[in-house]
Amino acid sequence: MINLDIDVAVIGAGPAGLAAAISARENGSKDVLVIDRNSWLGGILPQCIHDGFGVEELGTSLTGPEYSEMYIENAQKLGIDFLAKTMVLELKKNLEIIAINNKGLYKINAKSIVLAMGCREKTRWNVMIPGDRPSGIYTAGVAQGFINLYNIMVGKNVVILGSGDVGLIVARRLKFEGANVLGVVEILPYAGGLPRNVVQCLDDYDIPLYLNHTVTYIKGRERLESVTISQVDENKNPVSGTDKEIKCDTLLLSLGLIPENELSKQIDIELDGLTGGPVVNQSFETTVSGIFACGNCLQVYDTVDILSIGAKHAGKYAAKYASGKNMISNCFVNVIAGKEVRYVIPQMISKPGKILFNLRVENPKNSAVLYIFSGDYEVFKKKLPWAYPSNMIEIEVNITEDIIKSDNDLEVTIDDR
C-alpha cells in the first residue's frame, strides 16, 4: 500500500475540483492532491466546444476546452499533484481516503477533503417512459460527447425530451451537423434551461418547443422508429386525446442532473433532499468536520463561472481547516426555504459576516421581492425584476452574531411585487 500524507485532498478534477485545489494552494496549503477516475483533467469541459465559459468570472468568452486548460495550466504551475485514472474506494470520517489505480492501492491521510465529484444525467428509467427498448436513445451529454469528441453522429431525425441547458445546446449542435431536430418536449409550462439558451439554441434555428408535453411511448424493434408525445394537465398527467406520434430515429434525454454523492453516503454526510447534495455551512463544510463540498455534487449550477467561484471558497476554507485556522462556533442557525423558494444554500450558518446565498424559486415570476426573516425581524429585502427556476439567484447578506445566537431559523421567502 502506498501511503500519502497531504494537507488538502480534492476528489474530482472537473472545473470545481480544479478551482478548489488552486484556491487551497493559494491560501497556504503546500501539499494539495487532486484525485480523478478519468484519464484526463477538466471533467465534462473538453466536450463542451461552444463558447460562453468565463464571461461572468473573467469578462471574456472561452470554449469549454479553453476554460479547462486555463485552470489545468494554473494548477500545474502551482505544483498541485494529480492522481488520474484513480478510483476512490472508501472515504472515512477521520479524513482518510482509500484509492486504487494501476500502480496499486493508496492510503491518503488528509488534513481536509474537498468533494467535487460532479453529477450524472438522469436516464429513461428515472422517469419510467413506457414502450420498447430500441437503440437510438441517449442522454444529451452522451450525444454531445459522441459528436464533439469522437465525430460520431447519433442520428438524423431527433426528438429531445427535456429543455435543460445541455439539451438545448445539443439541439443547436445537431442542427449544425445537418440533423433534423423535430422538437424539444418539456413537461413544465416553461423551459428548464437559461432563457438565453432558449433564444440562441431553439428560436434562432426554428426548433419547436412543446411546453406542457411529455413522451408517453417509445416505439421501435431494433432502432427507434417513433415517439408519442402527449399534452399534460396541471398535475403532469397525460391528457387523453392529445397524443401525437413523431417519426424519428433518435431520442435524446435532457431530464436533469443528479449530484454524485455515493462517497458522501458512505460516511453519513447529511444530504439535502431537494438539491441532492450535502448540507453545508457558510464555509462549504459538510456535517462531517473537515470535509467540504463544492460544484455540481453540492448543487447543480447554471454556469461554470458561478460554480468555480463557489469552489474557490470551498478550497479556501479547506486550506484554513487544514492549518487549524477554521474555527467554527458551536452556535449555529438553520437556513430554510420558505414561500416560493425551492432550496437555499448554505443550509446553516455558524459564524457572523457577509454570507453568500444561492437559491432557486419554485415558479417563474416577472417581478418579485426576496426576503430573509429571523422570526419577525426582516434581515434582508431585495426587489427582483424577474425570477425563473432555471436561473440561480445569488445574494450576499450580512449576518450578525445576534442573529446566529437567536433561537430563530433564517427563512428565505419570495413574494409577488
Q: Which fold has domain 329-417?
A: Immunoglobulin-like (2.60.40)
Distance, CA of 111 to CA of 95 (rounded, Å): 7
Helix axes of 64-77 and 15-26: crossing angle, nearest 10 degrees: 30
- Exposed, middle or buried, 297 (CB in 10 Å: 0-12/13-18/19+)? buried
Looking at residues 222-246, what average pLDDT do you find? 97
Kind of pairing between the strands at 341-345 and 353-361? antiparallel
Looking at residues 65-87, what average pLDDT do you find? 97
Kindly report, residue by residue over 391-409, the tens digit of the pLDDT: 999 999 999 999 998 889 9
> Where does the pLDDT of residue 313 fall: very low under 50, low under 70, confident under 90, or very high at 90 and above?
very high
The pLDDT of residue 198? 96
Cis peptide before 346 (omega within 30 of 0): yes
The pLDDT of residue 108? 98
Those residues with Cβ within 8 angstroms of residue 327's Cβ, 6 or more apart along the chain or in another chain: none
Looking at residues 358-381, what average pLDDT do you find? 95
The pLDDT of residue 325? 76
Distance, CA of 101 to CA of 91 (rounded, Å): 16
Reduced to 3 states, what is the DSSP secondary structure of residue 119?
Answer: strand
- Exposed, middle or buried, 17 (CB in 10 Å: 0-12/13-18/19+)? buried
Reduced to 3 states, what is the DSSP secondary structure of residue 80?
Answer: coil
User: pLDDT higher for 350 or 244?
Assistant: 244
CA-wise closest residue to 289 among 110, 39, 22, 107: 110
Predicted TM-score (pTM) of the model is 0.95
Per-residue HEC secondary structure of 129-140 comes to CCECCCECEEEH
Sheet containing strand 180-185, strands side by side: 137-139, 250-253, 157-161, 180-185, 209-210
CATH for 123-255?
A: 3.50.50.60
The pLDDT of residue 100? 98
Q: What is the dihedral of CA 151, 157, 161, 164, to 10 degrees?
A: 40
Domain boundaries, the chain: 1-120+258-328, 123-255, 329-417
Looking at residues 137-151, what average pLDDT do you find? 97
> Where does the pLDDT of residue 209 fall: very low under 50, low under 70, confident under 90, or very high at 90 and above?
very high
Q: Are the C-beta atoms of 109 and 5 separated by less than 8 Å?
A: yes
Q: What percentage of the chain exceeds 70 in pLDDT?
A: 98
The pLDDT of residue 181? 98
Asked whether the predicted pLDDT for residue 343 surpasses 80, the reply is yes
Equal fold, 1-120+258-328 vs 123-255: yes
Among 3.50.50.60, 3.40.50.970, 3.40.1280.10, 3.20.20.10, name the CATH number for the domain at 1-120+258-328. 3.50.50.60
Kindly report, residue by residue over 256-300, the tens digit of the pLDDT: 999 999 999 999 999 999 999 999 999 999 999 999 999 999 999
Looking at residues 59-70, what average pLDDT do you find? 96
Q: What percentage of the chain exceeds 90 in pLDDT?
A: 95
And the C-alpha cell for 25?
A: 494552494
Q: Are the C-beta atoms of 64 and 2 separated by less than 8 Å?
A: no
Looking at residues 230-245, what average pLDDT do you find? 97
> Where does the pLDDT of residue 332 fall: very low under 50, low under 70, confident under 90, or very high at 90 and above?
confident
DSSP 281-338: -TT-B-SSTTEEE-GGGTS--S-HHHHHHHHHHHHHHHHHHHTT--PPPS--EEEEE-
The pLDDT of residue 407? 83
Reduced to 3 states, what is the DSSP secondary structure of residue 151?
Answer: coil
Q: Are the C-beta atoms of 140 and 127 separated by less than 8 Å?
A: no
Cα distance from N-terminal residue to C-terminal residue, the chain: 62
- Exposed, middle or buried, 142 (CB in 10 Å: 0-12/13-18/19+)? middle
Asked whether the predicted pLDDT for residue 328 surpasses 60, the reply is no
Q: What is the mean pLDDT of the chain?
A: 95
CA-wise closest residue to 107 among 94, 126, 121: 94
Kind of pairing between the strands at 104-115 and 2-11? parallel
